[in-house]
Amino acid sequence: MADTEIRTPIVTPFDEDEAVDADALADLVDHLIEEQGVTGLVPCGTTGEMGSLTDEERRAVVETTVEAADGRVPVMAGVGETAVGEVLDHVAAAADAGADSALVVAPYFGGDAPAEGNEEFFRTIADGSELPVYLYNIPPAVGQDIDEGTVVALADHDNVAGVKDSSGDVTYFNSLIRRTPDDFEVYQGWDGAYAPSLAMGADGGINALTHFFGDVYAEVAEALEAGDVERARDLQLGVIDEAFEACREHGFAPATKAVLAERGVIPRGSVRPPQREVPDDEAAELAAFVADQ
């Protein structure tokens, strides 16, 4: 836990015309590294509204993130698509931009695919990828879990480095830790299970709330390392879980952007459909909650 990774699935700021705001994104990268102390950035993930970006925008977001990070922290680029060829195109673009690794979701138009089919999907991508691949299990977004046996089988692939699990299924997560090699990185993406997962041996988290609670996530890791389970428990059940429930209510991209804008980290912008902006009064309440912690 001393080397716990605290990574942020970074939002994609848009300006008032709903275009990607590259300057705001670069400023946000600085905020996350210098103010929140995060140890890695994940552009073009779920919180980054990956599904609402064009291919050109996705390339630009990764390029801006890498350039702004300037080697201070690694960049794991979201490259999800339903077609192997398109995933590999995104990987190639991310590699050209200088990203360090690629995050790949299961095909999100293949909910009835057999586990063997998904294993072939990921294995083919790993075989052809210019970057180390991380699997991304997020069944609410894609309609299916990555079968536990599939993750275990792929963990032996030379180019599959780890997994982010956002299922919220602690039994599934613990099994991945138990059944995969020690050098296979297992990240918790469900903020509500952050502290328990670290206690079970997770390598860290990739969590939206680190946009403004990076210090809290670091404190949980430090508390557990010091054997202060009560402090870790209090932070999980208090700050993290309360903020997590609020973000689940509004959606992680809208809620995170609302708080960041209220706090002056990014300009007041927008989200893209099907996301909806948080009403002004509720955005102010969210920002006030964060400020009080």
Tens of pLDDT, residue by residue over 17-54, are 889 999 999 999 999 999 999 999 999 999 999 999 99
Q: Does residue 1 carry a pLDDT above 60? A: no
Nearest to 63 by CA among 75, 73, 53: 75
Q: Across residues 211-224, what is the average pLDDT?
A: 97
Residue type present at position 223 = A
Q: Across residues 112-134, what is the average pLDDT?
A: 95
Q: Does residue 16 carry a pLDDT above 90? A: no
Q: Please check whether residue 224 is in contact with residue 233, taking contact to mean a CB–CB distance below 8 angstroms.
A: no
Banded pLDDT at 111 (limits 50, 70, 90): low
3-state secondary structure the chain: CCCCEEEECCCCCECCCCCECHHHHHHHHHHHHHHCCCCEECCCCCCCCHHHCCHHHHHHHHHHHHHHHCCCCCEEEECCCCCHHHHHHHHHHHHHHCCCEEEEECCCCCCCCCHHHHHHHHHHHHHHCCCCEEEEECHHHHCCCCCHHHHHHHCCCCCEEEEEECCCCHHHHHHHHHHCCCCCEEEECCHHHHHHHHHCCCCEEECCCHHHHHHHHHHHHHHHHCCCHHHHHHHHHHHHHHHHHHHHHHCHHHHHHHHHHHCCCCCCCCCCCCCCCCCHHHHHHHHHHHHHC
Q: Which one from 164, 187, 217, 257 is the annotated catalytic residue?
A: 164
Banded pLDDT at 2 (limits 50, 70, 90): low
Cα distances from 136 to residues 106, 107, 142, 164, 197, in angstroms, run: 7, 11, 10, 5, 16
Q: Does residue 249 carry a pLDDT above 60? A: yes
Q: Does residue 110 carry a pLDDT above 90? A: no
Nearest to 72 by CA among 48, 94, 100: 100
Banded pLDDT at 187 (limits 50, 70, 90): very high
Q: Across residues 92-98, what is the average pLDDT?
A: 98
Q: Which one from 136, 187, 194, 217 is the annotated catalytic residue?
A: 136
pLDDT for 72 equals 98
pLDDT for 73 equals 98
Backbone dihedral angles phi then psi of residue 166, each to the nearest 5 degrees: -115, 30
Mark whether 136 is an active-site residue.
yes
Rounded to whole angstroms, the Cα distance separating 289 from 250 reads 15
Rounded to whole angstroms, the Cα distance separating 154 from 170 reads 20
Place of tokens 């970057």: 131
pTM for the complete prediction?
A: 0.97
Q: Please check whether residue 154 is in contact with residue 126, taking contact to mean a CB–CB distance below 8 angstroms.
A: yes
Q: Across residues 151-175, what is the average pLDDT?
A: 98
Mark whether 187 is an active-site residue.
no
